[in-house]
Structure formats: structure tokens, C-alpha cells
Structure 1
Amino acid sequence: MKNYKAFETDRLYIKPTTEEDAEFIFQLLNSPKWLKYIGNRNVNNISDAKTYIKEKILPQLYQLGFSNYTVIRKEDNVKIGSCGLYNRDGLEGIDIGFAFLAEYEKKGYAFEATNALKHTAFSTFNLKEISAITTKNNINSQNLLVKLGFKLTGTTTLPNDDEVLLLFKISNN
């Protein structure tokens, strides 16, 4: 595999998700908050997670040079969450997203990782604008997006889903 952009912060390593992360992706995609706010991706075992990575994550990485990133805590090399830049069907431009296991929430990791990814998106990937979507009841994600500098610009829906989502955007100024 080509050497794709990985980066780090004071406390975190942020690296492109690969099949080596299948066990963690299985755990994350089946966590209660993922299922509640993002939805069931039918990843029912580690084999499904490998397929999900091969079919949903890696093709965009190969095409655009960015995709989903696994977030690893430096102090113990534990995988704690993910963040990413996505070319999502039904959404104009590139979308940023994040999800962390519950035991690693409220510790600043999501802000730290996603803020680093936002800066990388603008400085390395030369994006001019980034979107973000979240459900109306996911207040924690909304607050994080505002803290990251995103502005609520309206609502949207994605193809094959009638749930109205809040749409946030930030420009590279």
C-alpha cells in the first residue's frame, strides 16, 4: 500500500484505517452511540469489518488520498476512536466525521484528533471547505463542531434515508 498521510498530536497518533484495524472497527461500529447516532452498518463480526474496510474505506483512500483514520492514544497504543474525511453520496464536497468509544469521551480526544484532521484537510489536502452532518439529537457532536469553528448552515438528507440532518460547514480562511 502506498504511504498515505498519517499524523499525530501531543497525545494521539492518527493513521489511515486498514484491515489491521478490523477488530477495532467491529467494536466501534457496534458501540451503542454509533448505532444510535450513525446507524447499523451490518458489521456483525471481524470478517464483516474487514470487508467494510476493503469496500467502504480503502477505495476512497486510494482515490482521494484521505478517508477514515484510526485514532490511537500514544501513552498505551490503544485504539480509541476514528475520524475521517468522506466523499459522501448526496452531500456536496467533503464531509468530516468522528466517533469514539464511550470510555474515551469527555477527555478532549475527539477535539484534538478532529482539529488536527481539519488543519490537515486545509493545509495538506488543499480543501477549501469542509462539511459535517449530525442528527438533531446528537448535542455532543453539534457542540464539538461549533468548538472546531463549524457554522450551522441548514439541514439536509442523505440518499435512501429520510432523517433530517443538521449541516455544518467551515471554510479555509
Structure 2
Amino acid sequence: MDYHSFETERLILKPTGIEDTEFIFQLLNSPKWIQFIGDRNVRTSDDAKIYIQNRMLPQLEKCGFSNYTVIQKEDQTKIGTCGLYSREGMENIDIGFAFLPEFEKKGFAFEAASKLLYEAKNTFKINHLDAFTTKDNYDSQKLLEKLGLKKSGLIRIPNDDEELILYQIEL
């Protein structure tokens, strides 16, 4: 199947694949990923490859969307991820993002997530999106609000003990 990639002024968003193993290994072990998203026990490149094979590719094959590797157009550097996620036990698709520390505070997450909001509605025909963040991840909360999502309460997602803030948007 031919999966969609998307472009913005500065970025390319392409479905994450096995070729992104080293980047995913680096991102999943970055301090903010571990602090705010959680330790995924990805300790080696082989673990990262298995993570992509088991967590990202099956959803891409099933839904046509999943995790996207965000690449800077100017130099082809992989800088982060942004994705639409169908989580087991959750009613709605959620949007999420994570960037390497050196690429934060440059507008890349807003640019990538804005594009995915547009594509969620227009390409994938999704009418409602959720997003979750920890209570202490203020940067993520600010970005979700800038994207137009509204805080709608607290939630626990399956297989996670922590109570998270739920954000929602109608597209």
C-alpha cells in the first residue's frame, strides 16, 4: 500500500519505518521522552527496530496513518515525530509529538502538528481528536492549546498508572 507523506514549508512528515531505527532509538531515550512520555525499555537499536515493527507499522497498515518521522527539508535531518494514534481501549484517535531537545522551541512541533490536524480531517476523515499530556508537561499543554485543542478533564489510558490531562478538538 502507498502511505501518505506530507510537506510543510520547512518539514517533511513521512511514515516512520525500519530505516528510522537509529533515530527512533535516539528519540525514545531522550530525557524529555522518558520524563513525559515514558520509558519504553528501548535499550538497543534492535529494540528500536522491534518497537517500530510492533508498535508503529501494524497501525500504519491497519489505518493508513501512524507515527511520522519529521525531517527538516533544508538538510534532511530527522528532528522529531508527530503522529495520529489509534490506541487500544481508547475511543478516539489521538495526536502526539516529540522532538529532539535541540529542535524544540523553533516552531517545528506546531508546524508538524498543524499539518497533521489538517490531514486528519481532510485525508483520513477523522472528525475528533484527543491528546494527552502529563500534568507537569507545560510546553506540551501550551502547544495543544495553541493548536486549538481544549482541556476537557483528566484521564487514565490503558496500561498507564498516571493520571493525564485530556485535550480534545472537533475537526
TM-score by length of 2: 0.98
Which segment is superposed worse, 144-153 or 156-165? 156-165
Aligned twin of 1:80:
79
Aligned twin of 1:130:
129
Q: What are the residue-to-residue correspondences of 1:15-30 with 2, within 5 Å?
A: 15-30=14-29
Separation in 1, partners of 2:132, 2:61: 24
Instruction: Report sequence identity in percent.
Output: 59
Shift, 1:25, TM fit:
0.1
Secondary structure of the structure 2 residue equivalent to 1:41: coil
Separation in 2, partners of 1:166, 1:26: 27
* Letter of the structure 2 residue corresponding to residue 133 of structure 1: F
Secondary structure of the structure 1 residue equivalent to 2:151: strand
Shift, 1:120, TM fit:
0.3
Aligned twin of 2:67:
68
Shift, 1:162, TM fit:
2.0
Secondary structure of the structure 2 residue equivalent to 1:154: strand
Q: What are the residue-to-residue correspondences of 1:40-59 with 2, within 5 Å?
A: 40-59=39-58
Secondary structure of the structure 2 residue equivalent to 1:82: strand
The answer as to whether partners of 1:89 and 1:158 remain within 8 angstroms in 2 is no
Q: Does 1:120 align with 2:128?
A: no
* Letter of the structure 1 residue corresponding to residue 105 of structure 2: K
The answer as to whether partners of 1:24 and 1:79 remain within 8 angstroms in 2 is yes
Aligned twin of 1:100:
99
* Letter of the structure 2 residue corresponding to residue 107 of structure 1: K
Separation in 2, partners of 1:84, 1:161: 19
Deviations 1:22-65 (A, max 9, x none): 00000000000000000111111111111000000000000000
Separation in 2, partners of 1:111, 1:137: 19
Secondary structure of the structure 1 residue equivalent to 2:111: helix
Shift, 1:161, TM fit:
2.1
Secondary structure of the structure 1 residue equivalent to 2:152: strand
* Letter of the structure 1 residue corresponding to residue 82 of structure 2: C
The answer as to whether partners of 1:70 and 1:82 remain within 8 angstroms in 2 is yes
Aligned twin of 1:166:
165
The answer as to whether partners of 1:14 and 1:71 remain within 8 angstroms in 2 is yes
Unaligned runs of 5+ in 1: none
* Letter of the structure 2 residue corresponding to residue 139 of structure 1: Y
Aligned twin of 2:31:
32
Aligned twin of 1:155:
154
Shift, 1:3, TM fit:
1.4
Separation in 2, partners of 1:53, 1:110: 21
Q: Once superposed, which parts of structure 1, at least 4 consecutive aligned residues long, lie more than 3 Å away?
A: none
Give the length in aligned residue pairs.
171
Secondary structure of the structure 2 residue equivalent to 1:85: strand
Q: How large is the Cα RMSD of the aligned pairs?
A: 0.7
